[in-house]
Amino acid sequence: MRVSLRRVAHSRSGDKGNTSNITVIAYEPAFYPYIKQAVTADALRTVYNEAAVRGAITRYEVDGLGVLNFVLEGALGGGVSRSLAIDNYGKALASAVLRLELEVPDALAPLLRGPKTD
């Protein structure tokens, strides 16, 4: 079945200079292999285009925790203190990635979180 990423994972962002970290955290270990397959650096680029993230997007896999950590360079408008953005830390940046969709086996349906409309 095809579901929104936010039914199988949550996300957080953090800042360092002009770089944003975005983590995608599986709600259940059973979801992680499917998240790892679908949520690639290329998939993130479809969410954060070159105008939003001007540098490279690199994925790091933390398999033991069921977490993907993405490092997005050039994501914060020149850095927190210089940025003209209203959310200058990019604290809300991570929520955009949850728009992605992925396939998960029907057998995992009982473990899904969030609104069934997604």
User: Within 62-91, which residues bind other proteins (CB under 8 A)?
Assistant: 80, 86-91
Q: From the CB of 93, what's the least distance to other proteins, in Å?
A: 8
Instruction: Give the one residue of 74, 77, 78, 114 binding other proteins; rule: CB under 8 A.
Output: 114
Residue 10 engages other proteins in binding (rule: CB under 8 A): yes
Rounded Cα distance, 116 and 118, in Å: 5
Q: 111 CB contacts (<8 Å, ≥6 apart)? A: 8, 27, 28, 30, 31
Rounded Cα distance, 85 and 8, in Å: 30
Per-residue contact flags (x/-) with other proteins for residues 13 to 32, judged by CB under 8 A: x-------------------
Q: 90 CB contacts (<8 Å, ≥6 apart)? A: 13, 15, 20, 75, 76
Q: From the CB of 18, what's the least distance to other proteins, in Å?
A: 16
For Cα atoms 18, 10, 14, give the angle at the middle one, nearest 5 degrees. 20
CB nearer other proteins, residue 57 or residue 94: 94
Q: From the CB of 15, what's the least distance to other proteins, in Å?
A: 11
**Positions in the binding site for other proteins (CB under 8 A):** 4, 6, 10-13, 80, 86-96, 98-99, 114-115, 118
